[in-house]
Structure 1
Amino acid sequence: MGAGGERAAAGEPARPWDQDELLRLMDVRPAGPGRYTAPPHEGAERNVVEAGQLLADAVVAAAKEIPDQRVTSASMVFSRAAGHDKGIAVDLDVVHRGRTYSTVQARVAQEDELRCAGLILMGADADDLVTSTAPMPDVPRPDEVRPFGPPGMRVRGRELRVVDDAYDWDPQHVGPPELLVWTRFAAAPAASYLHSALMTHSVTHWTIAAALRPHAGYSEAMAHKTISTGISKATVAYHDDIDVSRWFLYANQVVYTGRGTTQSEGRVYAEDGRLVASYAVHGMIRPLVRRPGAPDMVL
C-alpha cells in the first residue's frame, strides 16, 4: 500500500481532485527504457480511471520519449478498466523514428495486465504552405454561460460552462445529441505537452451524455446504476498550440447511437476561434447486467 493508501486506511482525507492532482497523475515519470509510470489516486469515490486520463498518460510519455517532435495524433482502444488505487505503467515502442514523423506504440498496463493500447504519431513542425480551418460554432461567450459543476465532475482549478445548460441529468429533458462546453484551468503548466494532456483528459467526458440527450427516460445519471457505459476508443489530432489557462471550447456532436454503441465527433477551439484539436470517440451504452464479483463496467 502506498502513502495515499496508508492515509486512507488511517482515516485521513483522500487527495482532492484539483488541477495539481490531474497533473500529478498525467505527468508520467521515466522508469527505464521506454517505460513511464503514473502514481495512484487514493480515495476516489468510483475506482475507475477515465479513458481520457489514460490517453493523456500515453501522450505525455511519447512527448518525453521523443522531445524534439510533438504529438500530432493519438489513438487508443480501451480494453479493460484501470483502477485509481494502483499505479499505471506506460510502455512505448518506437516502431519508426523519422526526421518528419515518428510512430510510437503505447501499451498501458496495471498490475502487469494490459488495460489499453494505441498508436501515437509524432511530428516535426513546418511553416504553413496553405492553411484553412473549420469555423468555430456560433455560441455564447463563456461569461454569458452559467458555471457548471455537479459533484462527480468538480475539479478545483477547472471551470466548466455548458452552453444552454445542455448537460442535464433529468431524463425527461431532451435535446439534440450534442454538447458545447467551455473549459478553463486556473494555471498554465510549464510544458506544452501538459497543456495537451489537460485538454485530452476531458475529450472523453461528453459523448455518453450527448448520446442519451435525445432519448426521454435516459440520462447519464443512470450510468453504472441501470445502464452500462464506457469509452471503448478515442482518437485525438493535435492541430495548434493551446493555453489551458484561457477559455477553450469542446464542440461535441454524436453522429450515431445504436447496437449498444455510440460515436461522436468533436472539435476543440481556443477562444479566439483557432481550431486546436479534433477528436472522435467510440462509446458503449448497454443495459447493466451485474455479475457477482465483477465490476459494473468492462471498458
Structure 2
Amino acid sequence: MEAGAPTGADDRARPWDQDELLRLMDVRPDGPGRYTAPAHGPAGRNVVEAGQLVADAVVAASKEIPGQRVTSATMIFSRAARHDDEITVELDVPHRGRTYSTVQARAVQQGKVRGAGLILMGADAGDLVASTAPMPDVPRPDELNPFEPPEMLVGGREIRVVDDAYDWDPGHVGPPELFVWTRFAAAPPAGYLHAALMTQSTTHWTIAAALRPHAGYSEAMAHKTISTGILTATVSYHSDVDVTQWLLYANQVVYTGRGMTQSEGRVYAEDGRLVASYSVQGMIRPLTGTAPVSGTTL
C-alpha cells in the first residue's frame, strides 16, 4: 500500500492529491542548511514513502545551490519516517564548485536520522557526444486500463500498468518486472518540483515486481505476513522532465534472495527520451512484529 493511503484514516487526514504531494516535498528554508517538510497528518499507514524522502532532499539541494541542477541522488533509509510529524532536511556542502557540487543530506524527524544520502549537483553543458538506451517496446498508455486501486489513488495522478501486471492475487505469476505509465494533471512551477514528483514514484515498484514470479506471494501480504521496505535508492537525472506528459517507469528486478531484492529502472518520456534511471534495494522478510526499516514499498 502507498505510504499514507487513506484506508481507515479519520476525517482529519488531508486528501492524497498532487497538491498535497507538492506541499510535502516543496521543503521550506528553516535556517542555514536546514529545510522543513510539513506533516501530512493522520494516515492509514503512518510511514513515509522512501521516494518522498529522496524528493525532499532533491528539492532542498536545488534551493541550496540554485545555479546547478541535481544530477544524481542516493539515500540509505535507516528508520521509518512518520506522516504525522514534520521532517527536517539537513544539508552539508563539502564541495561547492563551478561545474559540480557535492551535498550531504540527512532526513531527520524527532531528533533521529531517518535517511542519509549524497547528492551531486552540476552545471549544464551542451552535448559533446550523446546516446541513450532504447525505450522498451510496450503498449502506449491509451491502450491500457486505468490502474485505480483505492489504496493507491492520488488525485491528479493517472497510472496505467502494462499487462495489468500489478496484481494482488498470489496465484498470478509473471516475470520480475513492471512497466508503468504515470502522469500528473498540472505542471508544478519549478523544474526541481517536476523532478521531485518523478522521483517519488521510483520506489513504488520494486517489491511487487520481485514477488511476481513466486506463487503464493503478492504485494497484498506486505506488512501483514511479510515485512517489506526500501533500504537504499539511487536516482540519476538525465533530461528535463515534464510530469504532465506520460512517463514510463521500466522496472526490472535483477536479484531476490537473502531477505533482499535489487531492481534497476529507467524513466522514459513518451517520445522515447531517457529522463532518469534508478536502482532500488529492498527488504523482503518474514514479519516479526518489529517496526519497518524504511518507507513502505509499492
TM-score, structure 2 normalization? 0.95
State whether structure 2 residue 103 is matched by structure 1 residue 108: no
Q: Following superposition of structure 1 onto structure 2, how do residues 176-187 of structure 1 map, counting pairs within 5 Å?
A: 176-187=175-186
2:284 partner SS: strand
Q: Following superposition of structure 1 onto structure 2, how do residues 259-270 of structure 1 map, counting pairs within 5 Å?
A: 259-270=258-269
Shift of 1:12: 4.1
Paired letter, 1:207: T
Q: Following superposition of structure 1 onto structure 2, how do residues 238-257 of structure 1 map, counting pairs within 5 Å?
A: 238-257=237-256
Paired letter, 1:93: D
Q: Distance in 1 between matches of 2:183 and 2:129?
A: 30
2:241 partner SS: coil
Contact 2:77–2:293 (CA under 8 A) maintained in structure 1: no
Q: Which residue of 2 is the match for residue 70 of structure 1? A: 69
Q: Following superposition of structure 1 onto structure 2, how do residues 54-203 of structure 1 map, counting pairs within 5 Å?
A: 54-203=53-202
Paired letter, 2:150: P
Paired letter, 2:73: A
Shift of 1:245: 0.4
CA displacement 1:4-44 (0-9 Å, x = unmatched): xxxxx9x7442000000000000000000000000001121
Paired letter, 1:279: Y
Paired letter, 2:269: A
Q: Which residue of 1 is the match for residue 6 of structure 2? A: none
Q: Distance in 2 between matches of 1:249 and 1:52?
A: 17
Contact 2:231–2:293 (CA under 8 A) maintained in structure 1: no
Shift of 1:152: 1.4
Q: Distance in 1 between matches of 2:116 and 2:147?
A: 32
1:120 partner SS: strand
CA displacement 1:138-186 (0-9 Å, x = unmatched): 0111100100021111100000000000000000000000000000000
State whether structure 2 residue 203 is matched by structure 1 residue 204: yes
Q: Distance in 2 between matches of 1:153 and 1:238?
A: 25
Paired letter, 2:218: S
Q: Distance in 2 between matches of 1:100 and 1:177?
A: 39
Unaligned runs of 5+ in 2: 1-8
Paired letter, 1:298: V
Q: Distance in 1 between matches of 2:154 and 2:202?
A: 15
Paired letter, 1:186: A
Q: Distance in 2 between matches of 1:12 and 1:118?
A: 35
Q: Which residue of 1 is the match for residue 293 of structure 2? A: 298
Q: Which residue of 2 is the match for residue 4 of structure 1? A: none
Aligned residues: 286
2:179 partner SS: strand
Q: Which residue of 2 is the match for residue 216 of structure 1? A: 215
CA displacement 1:196-242 (0-9 Å, x = unmatched): 00000000000000000000000010000000000000000000001
Query: Greater relative contact order (Cα 8 A, min sep 6): structure 1 or 2?
Result: 2
CA displacement 1:84-114 (0-9 Å, x = unmatched): 0000000000010011100000011001111
Q: Which residue of 2 is the match for residue 3 of structure 1? A: none
Q: Distance in 2 between matches of 1:98 and 1:217?
A: 52
2:272 partner SS: coil
In the TM superposition, structure 1's runs of 4+ consecutive aligned residues that sit over 4 Å from their partners are: none
Paired letter, 1:22: L
Q: Distance in 1 between matches of 2:12 and 2:81?
A: 22
1:24 partner SS: helix
Q: Distance in 1 between matches of 2:113 and 2:42?
A: 23
1:148 partner SS: coil
Q: Distance in 1 between matches of 2:59 and 2:164?
A: 32
Q: Distance in 2 between matches of 1:21 and 1:154?
A: 13
Q: Distance in 2 between matches of 1:95 and 1:198?
A: 27
Shift of 1:298: 2.3
TM-score, structure 1 normalization? 0.94
